[in-house]
Structure 1
Amino acid sequence: MVISQIKNLRLPLMNVVRMNGVPILQQLHLEEKLLRISSENWCIINDGTPDPTIVMGISGKPAELLDVKSVLQDKIPVIKRFTGGGTVIVDQGTVFVSLICNKDAVPGVQPYPQPIMAWSSLFYDEVFHGAGDFKLRENDYVFGSRKFGGNAQSITKNRWIHHTSFLWDYEDANMTYLKVPQRAPKYRQARDHSEFICRMKDILPRSAFIDGTIKAAETHFSLSSISLEDIKYLDTTNFVPSSRILTSKELEATICAEDSLLSHSL
């Protein structure tokens, strides 16, 4: 017991915030605030978001990534987040895990995309050990050749965030809002969404994944549980989050631009 306590004291401290059904935009605002204002390490776990929502990377272009007409017709919110990465549609079946760390929090991991990505695959290998053929393939988490986790990152001078949308379950119909991106990973091999992604619920229970994530974090950090209400001390009028919902006018403009390009090409 004493040896275990000494070991934990040597590990960097990480605050764990477990949330249930927090809207994804609120989660993104919280994460960016913690990345830019806090100097502590954080693990944010959000078990689902209430309504189907499309989330795009900071440089994503709706016309290239979305069936914009269907998105507008069905009034699906589209968020442009503060991190890079690809496009996902999330809902109550999505489990979100975000790791926000100081650059020296994980020994041997340089604050660059690939080293962080490689370390994250080892981290989640602990979570999925014995449950499916887990791999990291071209920045995606997969079971075999099917994707179930999409990743995004942001790196500042002294800190980084690595966050993942895990598809524990999803509605097939929702995937029709997403186009196959022009710059898709090679292993996708032009497969449509139904052949490219899979559900985590076919591999392990939802609670087992969340508990396993916390257990894996305990091997790298000394954990402290904090409630969402306890983070109010970070409230500041100087912080303006950059993740936002795209307006209908912005989405409509992409349709007009796309139609104009098509007419000129005919």
Structure 2
Amino acid sequence: MIVTMLGKAREGVAPLMKVVRLKGMCILEQLHLEERLLRTSSDNWCLVNDGTTSPAIVMGMSGKLSELVEAKSVLRDHIPIIRRFTGGGTVIVDNGTIFVTLICNKDAVPNVQPFPRPIMSWSGLLYGKVFEGLADFHLRENDYAFGDRKFGGNAQSITKNRWIHHTSFLWDYECKNMSYLKLPAKAPKYRLTRDHTDFICRMKEHMPRSEFIERTIKAVGDEFSVSPVSLESINIDSVSEYVHTTKLLTEHEIQEASILQT
């Protein structure tokens, strides 16, 4: 059944997908935008953010800071930590990270039930088209990988009528930044206790940055009727009072985590 998930939208009128291309948006601002669009909009959205302004650690909504981050190093080097509104693991992002977010109404993708595994399977097929003929692409548990090395981390949130699937793609990364992350207690089986630099890989070794973005938008266009829109055209006046659950952690919260690690 999975092999028929893609392309089904074309049997009738393809649902509209608004595509917003961003360049270097602060990851906190991006997550605020995503959360707002998920909760207050009735449109389907694809956000592509090519890099973010400066390094930041992003945690899932239920992650325990003391178990996931080297708090002393983060305090010393003034690395911001954000707790996002979706689940998933912990990542460090910077200008070498490309972000792709899909926000859909539950009936926008035929034959895909609004649950984590079906959405993940569908997205794996979508990105399989992006990387077709270029690399040994696999959906490995909840990660995107070339062979047995991860290059894309995913997170999701599902509401009554809508869902979001967003990915941080490691087009490039700084090895020293990976030292801020602890080896998580719960890791995918295929990781096999490998440290971060042995477990992940760089997308730039497989394809140009611009080509990845163009291929992704094309793959989305195969499933939806794509409508490019600018960030400025998004009407945010009506939701100016929206309270985000995504937040920047305070220095005090990070200090408390560092005490637990002593």
1:219 aligns with: 222
1:112 aligns with: 115
In the alignment, does 2:200 pair up with 1:193? no
The equivalent position to 2:148 in structure 1, one of 145, 150, 166, is 145
Moved more, 224-233 or 21-30: 224-233
Q: Quickly say closer, same or farther: Cα 1:30–1:235, change in 2 above 3 A.
A: farther
1:206 aligns with: 209
| Structure 2 segments unaligned to the other structure (5+ residues) | 1-9
- Deviations 1:163-189 (CA, angstroms, capped at 9, x unpaired): 000000000000000011000111000
Q: Whole-Å Cα distance in 1 between the matches of residues 249 and 238 of structure 2?
A: 25
In the TM superposition, 1:220-235 aligns within 5 A as 220-233=223-236, 235=238
Contact 2:73 2:180 in 1 (8 A): yes
User: What is the identity, as a one-letter code, of the residue corresponding to 1:75?
Assistant: H
User: What is the identity, as a one-letter code, of the residue corresponding to 1:241?
Assistant: H
1:253 aligns with: 256
1:77 aligns with: 80
Moved more, 215-224 or 225-234: 225-234
The equivalent position to 2:132 in structure 1, one of 129, 134, 156, is 129
User: What is the identity, as a one-letter code, of the residue corresponding to 1:81?
Assistant: R
- Deviations 1:41-84 (CA, angstroms, capped at 9, x unpaired): 00000000010000000011111011110000000000000000
Q: Whole-Å Cα distance in 2 between the matches of residues 9 and 26 of structure 1?
A: 36
In the TM superposition, 1:78-97 aligns within 5 A as 78-97=81-100
The equivalent position to 1:68 in structure 2, one of 51, 68, 71, is 71
User: What is the identity, as a one-letter code, of the residue corresponding to 1:16?
Assistant: V
Dislocated runs of 4+, deviation >4 Å: none
RMSD: 1.2
- Deviations 1:116-145 (CA, angstroms, capped at 9, x unpaired): 000000000000001100000110000000
Aligned length: 253
Q: How far does residue 254 in structure 1 lie from its aligned partner after superposition?
A: 1.4
Q: Quickly say closer, same or farther: Cα 1:8–1:49, change in 2 above 3 A.
A: farther
User: What is the identity, as a one-letter code, of the residue corresponding to 2:243?
Assistant: V
Q: Secondary structure at the match of 2:139?
A: strand
1:18 aligns with: 21
1:3 aligns with: none
Contact 2:17 2:45 in 1 (8 A): yes
Q: Secondary structure at the match of 2:223?
A: coil
Contact 2:154 2:167 in 1 (8 A): yes
- Deviations 1:188-247 (CA, angstroms, capped at 9, x unpaired): 000001100000000000000000001001111000011000013454233111111101
2:42 aligns with: 39
Q: How far does residue 257 in structure 1 lie from its aligned partner after superposition?
A: 3.0
Q: Quickly say closer, same or farther: Cα 1:175–1:44, change in 2 above 3 A.
A: same
- Deviations 1:5-28 (CA, angstroms, capped at 9, x unpaired): xx6971000000000000000000
1:156 aligns with: 159
Structure number with greater Rg is 1
User: What is the identity, as a one-letter code, of the residue corresponding to 2:142?
Assistant: N
Q: Secondary structure at the match of 1:215?
A: helix
1:175 aligns with: 178
**Percent identity over paired residues:** 63
User: What is the identity, as a one-letter code, of the residue corresponding to 2:168?
Assistant: S
TM-score when scaled to structure 1?
0.93
TM-score when scaled to structure 2?
0.94
